Amino acid sequence: MKFDGIILDIDGTIWDTTPVVAEAWNNAITANFPQVPLVNADILKGQFGKPMNVIADNLFSVLPENEKAQLLKLCCAAEQKALSENTKNITFSNVVETIAELSKTHKLFIVSNCQSGYIEVVIEKNHLSQFITDSECFGNNGNQKDENISLIVKRNNLKNPVYVGDTAGDAEACKKADVPFIWASYGFGKVDEFFAKITDFSQLLEIVKN
């Protein structure tokens, strides 16, 4: 199948930030709302990919709504600072090289349920700016993932795009957006229905080859 655009998820597809993020979030929780249970990497793997407000509801349930939003903002700020300062390689194998190669034949995009500014951190830390044509996220507009996938498709006049993600939520969003889904099975989720499955990011080269 000939695709004219490849839309990428971030967490569980491009990289695994959960150990770094867990430490940053726990620092924010302890300093501001110590009554909230601390998180760990495995807990975050079960939440990443969901809209940020849903994650706050799930992890900060002991707080009233206004304090959930406040803590989420503090956690996101701590997270982005920690990721910007991180020097460990948390990107999955072959991702950067494969994106560079794919960009020679396909337009590449990012759609995530993340907060505003997160995509920019991903692009900066992995030196991807020259490869990514456009991006969108929940934090920018409050849209669900299927809506943002459709927005990227419309905005860039894509006729036959494909989405690469790792969770059942990604697969469901693709179904709603009527976009084929490639499952990154090395990521955080389990998926039953998919157009194709990869166990390593580099396998995209063969799948999308024209």
pLDDT for 114-148, tens place per residue? 999 999 999 999 999 999 999 999 999 999 999 99
Neighbours of 136 (CB within 10 A): 22
Per-residue pLDDT reduced to its tens digit, 77-118: 999 999 999 999 999 999 999 999 999 999 999 999 999 999
- Hunting for tokens 């707080």 — which residue is that? 63
Per-residue pLDDT reduced to its tens digit, 37-81: 999 999 999 999 888 999 999 999 999 999 999 999 999 999 999
Residue 194 has pLDDT above 80, yes or no: yes
Nearest in space to 128 (alpha carbons), one of 109, 148, 113: 109
Rounded to 5 degrees, what angle do the CA atoms 13, 19, 22 make? 110
Percent of the chain at pLDDT above 90? Answer: 96
Residue 28 has pLDDT above 70, yes or no: yes
**Cβ contact 5:156 at 8 Å:** yes
Residue 15 has pLDDT above 90, yes or no: yes
Neighbours of 100 (CB within 10 A): 14
Q: How far is CA 61 from CA 68, 72, 133, in A?
A: 8, 12, 37
Instruction: Give pTM, 2 decimals.
Output: 0.93
Mean pLDDT across the stretch 29-35? 98
pLDDT of amino acid 210:
61
φ and ψ at 128, to 5 degrees? -110, 5
Mean pLDDT across the stretch 149-161? 98
Beta bridge partners of 11: 15
pLDDT of amino acid 49:
86
pLDDT of amino acid 47:
95
**Cβ contact 110:7 at 8 Å:** yes
- Band (pLDDT 50/70/90 cuts) for residue 152 is very high
Residue 1 has pLDDT above 90, yes or no: no
Summary mean pLDDT of the chain: 96
